[in-house]
């Protein structure tokens, strides 16, 4: 199992250690060996090498079958312009370089953890179980032209961004969404703004046509993005899988994350267009949360999101579905049985990163 480890800043390396221990154990159980190397990324890479994504890191990732990513950024680099901040300056080039077009984010809240959600318990009787599929390499993030021009002899300024989608880009993300829906309740909701955007009109038509032609077994619906922002909070139980374009996905996936209570529990997979040496999708796997500078170095960070990201890596880039499920079950079992880090403790005695990891290792 050849992958690159990009742990990043603050709690990044702390929770990464937990994930690697879990992966070591599962690999041993499967009779496989981990073959990974660690590389600089994010704020610490800016400090050490002057860039958030050093050439050497990229080269190492090129030679691997997947990337296990921690998290990057923090107060130390907050005075940098927004576009030079570690998260942005590391993630966007990585996505572009490896054409990581499909971001898969499980929005999962175990019923036992409903207290962690900001939503009233009776709104989420069974917890939450949604998957967000976000297109990750198109739309307004990368569309050209992007420019800023002086107008009227400099008395005004105009800036432009361009949102572009091609039918082929929409089809490939729809394919990923269909696969996700098929592994679940076969209900897919496509989110767009087809009453205002040309790209959304194309989005809606392409998703409709593609599902009709290739996945008549999928129950497809369409929702406008403003309504989706309401429905996620009003009644998350109505969603199974939703798929949307890059910018809407950025907003809605974070909204989905917050109703799930703790970012410390949420993982994500970003799958590439190209295949790795196993013929499976090259991918980048990372927790949904950030570097949590306030708790860094204290050994109390929740390692679950990073561990679950490792599970997603086994599933998608290494085809080890059983091993992935085993990790997911172990995490759930430990949390449900009441072993909790501070972010999800709610009055219980909280355990540290180390103890949490031991418990999960024990449950494997």
Ligand X SMILES: CC(C)[C@H](C(=O)O)[C@@H](O)C(=O)O
Residue positions forming the annotated binding site for substrate: 95, 105, 134, 226
Asked if residue 83 binds ligand X (CB under 6 A), the reply is no
Residue 27 or 90: the one with the smaller Cβ distance to a copy of itself is: 90
Asked if residue 92 binds ligand X (CB under 6 A), the reply is yes
How many CA atoms are closer than 13 Å to the CA of 39, on its beta-carbon side? 24
Taking residues 141 to 180 in sequence order and writing x for each that binds ligand X by CB under 6 A, - otherwise, the string is ----------------------------------------
At 128, phi and psi to the nearest 5?
A: -130, 140
Q: For the segment 120-179, give every residue that binds a copy of itself (CB under 8 A).
A: 120-121, 123, 140-141, 143, 146-148, 151, 156-168
- Marked catalytic residue, from 35, 161, 217, 226: 226
Strand residue runs (E) in 202-301? 219-224, 241-244, 267-275, 281-287
At 37, phi and psi to the nearest 5?
A: -135, 150
Residue 210 is among the residues annotated as catalytic for this protein: no
Part in contact with ligand X (CB under 6 A); list of ranges 14-22, 86-94, 201-209, 315-323: 86-94
Cα 156 to Cα 64, 145, 147, 153, 211: the distances in Å are: 48, 19, 14, 8, 46
CB under 8 Å to 55, separation ≥6 — which residues? none
Residue 254 is among the residues annotated as catalytic for this protein: yes
Part in contact with a copy of itself (CB under 8 A); list of ranges 10-18, 64-72, 197-205, 314-322: 197-205
Cα 255 to Cα 117, 123, 275: the distances in Å are: 12, 16, 31
- Which listed option, a copy of itself, ligand X, none, makes contact with residue 50 (CB within 5 to 8 Å by class)? none
- Marked catalytic residue, from 35, 161, 217, 254: 254
User: Rounded to an integer, what is the distance from CA 260 to the centroid of its chain?
Assistant: 14
Residue 10 or 165: the one with the smaller Cβ distance to a copy of itself is: 165
Q: For the segment 310-339, give every residue that binds a copy of itself (CB under 8 A).
A: none
Residue 217 is among the residues annotated as catalytic for this protein: no
Q: Binding-site residues for NAD(+), please? A: 74-87
Q: For the segment 220-279, give every residue that binds ligand X (CB under 6 A).
A: 226, 250
Residue 141 is among the residues annotated as catalytic for this protein: yes
Asked if residue 273 binds a copy of itself (CB under 8 A), the reply is no
Q: ∠ CA 218-221-225 to the nearest 5 degrees? A: 135
DSSP 321-363: HHHHHHHHHHHHHHHHTT---GGGTTTSPPP-HHHHHHHHHHH
- Which listed option, ligand X, a copy of itself, none, makes contact with residue 49 (CB within 5 to 8 Å by class)? none
- Marked catalytic residue, from 10, 110, 129, 193: 193
Q: Are 190 and 221 in contact (CB under 8 A)?
A: yes
> Would you call 104 helix, strand, or coil by DSSP?
strand
- The secondary element (H helix, E strand) that includes residue 135 is strand 128-135
d(CA 14, CA 8): 10
Asked if residue 82 binds a copy of itself (CB under 8 A), the reply is yes
Residue 89 or 295: the one with the smaller Cβ distance to ligand X is: 89
- Which listed option, ligand X, a copy of itself, none, makes contact with residue 201 (CB within 5 to 8 Å by class)? a copy of itself
d(CA 101, CA 106): 16
- Encoded tokens for 345: 């403790």
Catalytic residues: 141, 193, 226, 250, 254
The residues of the shown chain that bind ligand X, judged by CB under 6 A, are 87-88, 91-92, 195-196, 226, 250
Please report, as ranges, the residues that interact with a copy of itself according to CB under 8 A.
82-83, 85, 87-88, 92, 117-121, 123, 140-141, 143, 146-148, 151, 156-168, 193-202, 204, 206, 224-227, 229-230, 233-234, 247-248, 250-255, 257-259
């Amino acid at each position: 199992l050849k992958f690159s480890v990009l742990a990043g800043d603050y709690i990044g390396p702390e929770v990464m250690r937990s994930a690697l221990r879990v992966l070591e154990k599962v690999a041993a159980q499967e009779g496989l060996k981990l073959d990974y190397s660690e590389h600089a990324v994010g704020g610490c890479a800016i400090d050490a090498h002057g860039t958030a994504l050093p050439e050497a890191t990229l080269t190492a990732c090129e030679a691997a079958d997947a990337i296990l990513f921690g998290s990057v950024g923090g107060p130390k680099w907050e005075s940098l312009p927004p576009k030079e901040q570690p998260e942005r300056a590391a993630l966007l080039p990585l996505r572009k370089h490896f054409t990581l077009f499909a971001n898969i984010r499980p929005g999962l809240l175990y019923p036992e953890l409903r207290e962690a959600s900001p939503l009233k318990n009776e709104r989420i009787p069974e917890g939450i179980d949604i998957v967000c599929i976000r297109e990750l390499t198109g739309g307004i993030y990368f569309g050209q032209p992007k420019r800023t021009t002086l107008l009227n002899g400099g008395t005004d300024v105009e800036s432009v961004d361009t949102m572009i989608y091609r039918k082929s880009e929409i089809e490939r993300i729809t394919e990923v969404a269909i696969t996700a829906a098929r592994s679940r309740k076969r209900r897919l909701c496509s989110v767009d703004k087809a009453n205002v955007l040309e790209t959304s009109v194309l989005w809606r038509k392409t998703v409709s046509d593609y599902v009709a032609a290739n996945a008549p077994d999928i129950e497809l619906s369409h929702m406008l993005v403003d309504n989706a922002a309401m429905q996620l909070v009003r009644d998350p139980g109505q969603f199974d899988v939703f798929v949307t374009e890059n910018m809407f996905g950025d907003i809605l996936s974070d909204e989905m994350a917050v109703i799930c209570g703790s970012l410390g529990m949420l993982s994500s997979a970003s799958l590439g267009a190209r295949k790795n040496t196993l013929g499976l999708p090259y991918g980048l796997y990372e927790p949904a949360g950030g570097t949590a500078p306030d708790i860094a170095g204290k050994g109390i960070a929740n390692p679950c999101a990073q561990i679950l990201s490792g599970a997603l890596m086994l599933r998608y880039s290494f085809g080890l579905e059983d091993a992935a499920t085993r990790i997911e079950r172990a995490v759930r079992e430990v949390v449900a049985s009441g072993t909790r880090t501070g972010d999800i403790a709610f009055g219980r005695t909280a355990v540290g990163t180390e103890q949490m990891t031991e418990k999960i290792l024990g449950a494997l």
